[in-house]
């Protein structure tokens, strides 16, 4: 009897956990909701434009910092420094192209 109750509780908790996982991403983003509410309260209908693709822009900045480190840091990259610099340049180039062709 105890094992059956424990099993049912475990099953119920798994169902609730999966339900939360499915529902949680659908919740509105609080960071985006607050500026709109502030604009409405001020009597304006235009909402401030969010920075387009901040993660991609952050990745570009991070790649540039990594490139700077590889160029000016200690040369202890096991012979892979030149290849890594080429790959970093190509990654930056591709991300910049993505932002250029973005339709948002």
Same domain, 5 and 42: yes
**Which structural domain, as residue segments, surrounds residue 57?**
51-104
The two structure tokens encoding residue 81: 């420094």
Same domain, 68 and 91: yes
Same domain, 59 and 90: yes
Predicted local confidence at residue 92, as pLDDT: 95
The two structure tokens encoding residue 88: 């970093």
Same domain, 45 and 55: no
pLDDT tens by residue, the chain, 104 residues: 777 777 777 767 667 665 555 445 544 444 444 455 454 555 555 555 566 888 999 999 999 999 999 898 887 788 888 899 999 999 999 999 999 887 75
Q: Using the 3D structure, point to which of 49, 68, 89 is the last residue of a domain.
A: 49
Task: Name every residue whose Cβ is closer than 8 Å to that of residue 59 and which is 6 or more positions away in sequence.
Answer: 95
d(CA 67, CA 89): 8
d(CA 24, CA 34): 19
Tell me if residue 77 falls in helix, strand or coil: coil
Same domain, 67 and 89: yes
């Amino acid at each position: 009897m105890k094992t059956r109750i424990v099993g049912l509780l475990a099953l119920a908790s798994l169902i609730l956990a999966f339900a939360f996982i499915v529902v949680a991403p659908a919740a509105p983003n609080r960071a985006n909701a607050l500026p709109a509410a502030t604009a409405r309260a001020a009597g304006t209908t235009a909402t401030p434009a969010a920075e387009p693709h901040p993660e991609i822009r952050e990745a570009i900045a991070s790649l540039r910092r990594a490139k700077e480190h590889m160029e000016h840091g200690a040369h202890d990259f096991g012979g892979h420094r030149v290849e890594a610099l080429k790959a970093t340049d190509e990654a930056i180039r591709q991300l910049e192209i993505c932002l250029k062709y973005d339709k948002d």
